[in-house]
Structure 1
Amino acid sequence: MKDTELFDSHFFMKRGLFISILMTVFISLRAHSQDELDRFNDTLKMGTSYLIGQRMRQYDLTGMDGKLYSSSQLKGKVTFIGFLTEFCAPCVAETPALNQLYSDFKADSNFQYLSFTIENWGNPTAFIRKHQIEYPVLSVDIGTCYYLNYFKGFPVHMIVGPDGKILYFQFGGGINEQKAVENLKGNVYPVIKQQLMRLYTSSDEKEE
């Protein structure tokens, strides 16, 4: 690769990251009503459909528990992946709903939950305690976080299938806790349940 090509790729990556950060902060500060956020989110959805069917980007990270978290662990599982940060009002508002989602599915061996944050890089304990987060959180540097969520900002919800490909992708959220519950129940839960059912059906067929 030529030096000029390398420079161009780095330049556009940094520019995309900068724009995503500005958008997230701007929306969090300016969104005074749920209606404003709903209109913004509807616009965003039109720009993420191309991600459906793409393979989740690769990562190899070490969590606070000392365990290795790798994209290779997505294979054979239905995985919900979230991206959150404290300066994002919708991220904070949806925490109780995400706690419930984690509680509802964590006992299923075919399901796994993973979330990424840029809070207190390497050790987000204070952030987790403050917002009473019950689901697993990995703290990473801002570049890694935006790379993994395709430079879409916060919050981001993804569901990755057993083949490692993205089945569901949503960027944005509401500042109303009830709206967050309705969004997860109406959009995320059905996809997770459908994929888990397919895994069970496939397993039963192999046994026969």
Structure 2
Amino acid sequence: MVKRGLYYLSIYIWLPYNLHAQNNTLKQCLIDHAKAIQAVATTKSTTQGAFIQPLDATYQKYQQIHYDWEECVKGHQMPLSTFKTLDGESYDSSTLAGKVLVLNFWFMSCAPCVAEMPALNKLVEEYKGKGVLFLGFSSDKAEQLKPTFFQQHPFNFKIIADARDIGKSFYFFGNPTTYIIDQQGIIRNAWVGDAGLDKLGPYTRAKKAIDNLLTTSHK
């Protein structure tokens, strides 16, 4: 876990093998990101595990690296085909087609993941019946995702349990990660991490992307 400014981001690198060729570009985005992070981490200022302030030059470098990853993954086909929600709903490419998708990758013990849930819930309420599907992919097992957790931390996305392999196919580098997918299954926006001190940041950022896709589809 890396401390960034005044908030936490759960970081890990996934480099799975034997995936379809269509994911090579997403994989390269992750490889380039990992190389850039390693280059910054080898400097003296980042080897001491110190708290990194938002105005620090090193912090700014990390922010640029993350931004470069976000730009890299845009325009690629999402590597998502079939899955089933915790409530037993089944989805495939045909049922997903024509919808704007908001994908959130998270897990129960990820503090930033839980922190952004209220902001993400606002989106679900706002876009009911407007052709937007909200999917929360948790790496936790189904038996771990007990009702008591959601009573304490309501999350109104459709929940998919044991989604580690799905997450690996996207080649992202930390949790929480959010993707905005257009009606043709193309990644249009992506970001990793919460919004720091701005609790409505996840809502604001996603809303702008969703509205843009809905407006475009109605032209």
Aligned with residue 156 of structure 1, among 172, 177, 196: 177
> How far does residue 181 in structure 1 lie from its aligned partner after superposition?
0.6
Q: Quick one: distance in 1 between partners of 2:128 and 2:50?
A: 33
What TM-score do you get using the length of structure 1 for normalisation?
A: 0.70
- Structure-to-structure mapping, 1:20-31, within 5 angstroms: none
Match of 1:92 in 2: 114
Q: Which residue of 1 aligns with 2:102?
A: 80
CA-atom RMSD in angstroms: 3.3
Give 5+ residue unaligned stretches, structure 1.
Answer: 1-7, 24-29, 202-208
Change (3 A) 1:67 1:77: same
Normalising by the residue count of structure 2, what TM-score does the alignment of the two structures yield?
0.67
Q: Do 2:70 and 2:189's aligned partners in 1 also have CA atoms closer than 8 Å?
A: no
Q: Which amino acid is 1:200 matched to?
A: H
Cα distance in 2 for partners of 1:59, 1:90 equals 27
- Hey, what's the Cα distance between the residues in 2 that align with 1:9 and 1:96? 35
Give the structure 2 partner of residue 53 of structure 1: 75
- Equivalents in 1 of 2:64, 2:115: separation in Å? 19
Q: State the match for 1:197 in structure 2.
A: 215
Give the Cα separation in 1 of the matches to 2:138 and 2:52: 25
2:192 to 163, 171, 175: 171
Task: Quote the residue 1:4 is aligned against.
Answer: none
CA 1:183–1:41 in 2, change beyond 3 Å: closer, same or farther? farther
Percent of paired sites with the same residue: 24
| Residues 40-98 of structure 1, C-alpha deviations (whole Å, 9 max, x = no match) | 45431212322111001033112222221224333111111111112222111111100
Matched, 1:184 2:203: yes
Answering whether residue 121 of structure 2 is matched by residue 121 of structure 1, we say: no
Structure 2 Cα separation of the partners of residues 200 and 194 of structure 1: 10
Give the unaligned 5+ runs of structure 2: 1-15, 19-26, 38-48
Could you say if the C-alpha distance between residues 191 and 141 of structure 1 is closer, same or farther in structure 2, counting changes exceeding 3 Å?
A: closer
- 1:123 to 1:87, Cα distance in 2 relative to 1, 3 A: closer
Match of 2:85 among 63, 69, 90: 63
Partner of 1:206: none
Paired residues, number: 176
8 Å contact from structure 1 (residues 106, 113) kept in 2: no
Shift of 1:34: 8.1
- How much does 1:120 deviate? 2.9
CA contact (8 A) 1:34 1:174 kept: no
Contact 2:78-2:185 at 8 Å conserved across structures: yes
